[in-house]
Chain A
């Protein structure tokens, strides 16, 4: 028997080594020269300059380690053959390719067929400004519609928004707006390694192009690619091939310069600031009032009142109590509220000398829960009854955790199951297994979609905010009751504001609505 086990283990080990060694892809001997990284995001589009057409080719610089120069190549088909159009040194990311008129008979015929396509009237009144209430790296562009958008020839199909950086020389397409739209938010990234990187405090120029999406007379498809060449010219790498954008268009006047920058206060969130400050003031007021000895009424919470009864039942039956903190992290408010309830429950359990089982899903939650339970046992004067295995980690795989907790329920048959915290799809599986195990069940969660499941499967359920109120209700401490009272008044405030909102909309007080309109 031992030999068989030994052989199986050896086979597993060999399998493991073979499987890891089989992954070697053979990247070649170390130290051999490698070609430079290719240029990326190659774009090409046509500009009209005087009486000639120019293809503006732009690319994103790669890690230029080893790059000596870039060779710009052009072809009539994506497959090639590509011919060299020019060279630029490393560090340059653009190239102007002057386009010749076609001589090929087929192209000439194509030109003849499309020569009557007329460009739409250009957009006018382009206004550019920093996009407010953000972290920067964004510019708002607005314009007056082309005279041929919806009226006139009505041949505008789309607007292209082009941006040049530093000098108004090479404009690159940043995005498009549909016909009839007259605004565009050019939102870049603050991350340098990303394609749409857009640094702050740099001059930007914009122009808006009204396009008809018809073929440019006298133009044919050109395909460009950029070759990054090392000092040793036998080492090079090609970019992806890019087709030239060539539509019939007309450009607006150039607008700019404009710079993007971040703001130090988000005025769109002013209403939130007022409400939070107001709520804080009310909370502090009621806490002070409670400290002064005012009798604050709190309505009965059946679920919490049942906790004592449930602990008593467990003591009589000589069976443990299972406390599940849910799938939330230690940063979730529901989990924080659950710690408080756990502390109170653990103290009672320690006093009654009943068993407690707390399987955890999150290791941070486990660490905090261990400390909470330990302190509760010490407060109850029973530090000897505490041992670290009361609170233990199971797994952070959702259904593996459910399987483990269900296993505990079916094997240990706890007298009481308490589910307090954040729950998802596992709520009903846990609660129904608890029913099968014959336990009294008390639950509390702020996950709205899980509340119905708990309501049908548990004896008592704390609905939403009752979970947060439970700690104050259990402790009856003035400080906690004060904050509970503040919540009630805040709810009254929400009702008043809701009614005021109805009235504002009925009477057309748009300012009221706009004040409460919060953007992210």
Chain B
């Protein structure tokens, strides 16, 4: 019974949402909107569980002085400082106005955003190292990849002289024919795979999300 009720919900609501896709009427839209609102509601409750998980794991590391426990101290301090400054204590405690708090905004714009931008910037260097490994011409296919990449990169060079038009034409062909064909094949496969997985979930064949496969 513990498994049957959730499976029944999934079956009924899954088919309801499939049918809803074919019904454009306002009532159908309202129903879909109502059901999708539940994702937000569940998300809010789950966030509390998430925070509890983070605090428990971090606190456990600090308490037992596990290796690198100092990072957990930073995590906890950062978490509680942002929560502390996220409230408007003197006017509307339960409103979102605390998010305009000077300290909250300053921490966010001066620490969180630059740190995240730094992480994102690392991507440039990682692309270079990944490209170096990918373009080593060890096999015929790897050589083809290297040549294709060279042609496409050369295309953006303004000083190519007589081979410029060749690079332009070839790179456009590479992008629009073999590359696009492969992409579309993957998209079709992904689309069918998604529908098949959705059916498996709705029909109760795929149950891993219930904690049981």
Interface residue ranges, A against B (CB under 8 Å): 12, 15-17, 19-24, 133-137, 190, 200, 262-266, 269, 272-273, 276, 279-280, 283, 287, 329-331, 333, 336-337, 339-340, 342-344, 360, 362-364, 366-368, 371-372, 374-375, 388-389, 391-400, 402-403, 407, 411, 425, 428-429, 431-432, 446, 448, 451, 453, 455-457, 463-465, 467-469, 471, 475, 479-480, 483-484, 486-487, 490-491, 494
Contacts and interface: CB of A to CB of B under 8 A. Distances in A.
A340 B208 contact: yes
B5 interface: no
Interface in B59-101: 60, 67-68, 71, 81, 84-85, 87-91, 97-98, 100-101
B81 to A, nearest CB: 8
Given A21-B90, A135-B29, A480 B50 contact: no
A329 B197 CA distance: 16
A296 to B, nearest CB: 14
B163 interface: no
20 contacts: A12-B81, A16-B89, A19-B101, A133-B24, A135-B24, A266-B22, A339-B208, A362-B46, A368-B209, A372-B211, A399-B117, A399-B119, A400-B119, A425-B123, A429-B126, A468-B197, A471-B208, A471-B213, A484-B196, A491-B188
Contacts of B123: 425, 428-429
Contacts of A329: 39
A375 B210 CA distance: 9
Given A280-B199, A392-B53, A483-B196, A451 B186 contact: yes
Interface in B110-147: 112, 115-117, 119-120, 122-123, 126-127, 129-131, 133-134
A469 B211 CA distance: 19
B139 to A, nearest CB: 14
A519 to B, nearest CB: 10
Interface string B22-43: 1111111100000000010011
Contacts of A331: 39
A193 to B, nearest CB: 16
A344 B213 contact: yes
Nearest to B201: A336
A269 B21 contact: yes
A144 B56 CA distance: 71
Nearest to A469: B193
Contacts of A471: 206, 208, 213
Contacts of A486: 196
A500 to B, nearest CB: 15
Contacts of A264: 23, 25, 28
A456 B102 contact: no
A428 B127 contact: yes
A10 to B, nearest CB: 14
A371 B23 contact: no
Closest 8 CB pairs of A and B: A363-B50, A393-B50, A465-B193, A371-B211, A19-B102, A468-B193, A399-B119, A465-B189
> A-side binding surface: helix, strand, loop or mixed?
helix
B13 to A, nearest CB: 12
Nearest to B105: A19
Nearest to A493: B192
A287 B201 CA distance: 14
Contact of A363 (B49, B189, B213): B49
Contacts, number: 235
Given A135-B24, A429-B119, A494-B188, A343 B131 contact: no
B119 A483 contact: no
Given A134-B24, A393-B53, A403-B119, 17 more contacts: A24-B90, A136-B26, A262-B24, A264-B23, A273-B22, A333-B197, A371-B211, A375-B212, A393-B51, A398-B116, A407-B71, A428-B130, A429-B119, A432-B126, A448-B186, A448-B187, A448-B190
B16 interface: no
B85 A389 contact: no
Interface centre among B51, B211, B213 (most CB of A within 10 A): B213
A16 to B, nearest CB: 5
Given A340-B208, A494-B188, A16 B196 contact: no
Given A19-B102, A397-B112, A448-B183, A467 B193 contact: yes
A22 B97 CA distance: 12
Contacts of A367: 46, 49
A265 B116 contact: no
B205 A479 contact: yes
A363 to B, nearest CB: 3
Nearest to A340: B208
Contacts of A394: 54
A287 B205 contact: yes
A463 B186 contact: yes
Contacts of A366: 46, 49-50, 53
B20 to A, nearest CB: 11
A343 B208 contact: yes
Nearest to A403: B119
A311 B42 CA distance: 34
A265 B25 CA distance: 8
A330 B126 contact: no
B152 interface: no
A17 B21 contact: no
A265 B130 CA distance: 50
Contacts of B206: 336, 340, 471, 480
A374 B211 contact: yes
B49 A266 contact: no
Contact of B43 (A337, A364, A457): A364
Nearest to A363: B50
B103 A456 contact: no
B194 A333 contact: yes
A12 B47 CA distance: 27
Contacts of B91: 20, 23-24
A362 B47 CA distance: 8
B87 to A, nearest CB: 8
Interface string B173-202: 000000000010011111011111111110
A59 B209 CA distance: 53
A42 B25 CA distance: 32
B1 interface: no
A16 B24 CA distance: 50
B120 A425 contact: yes
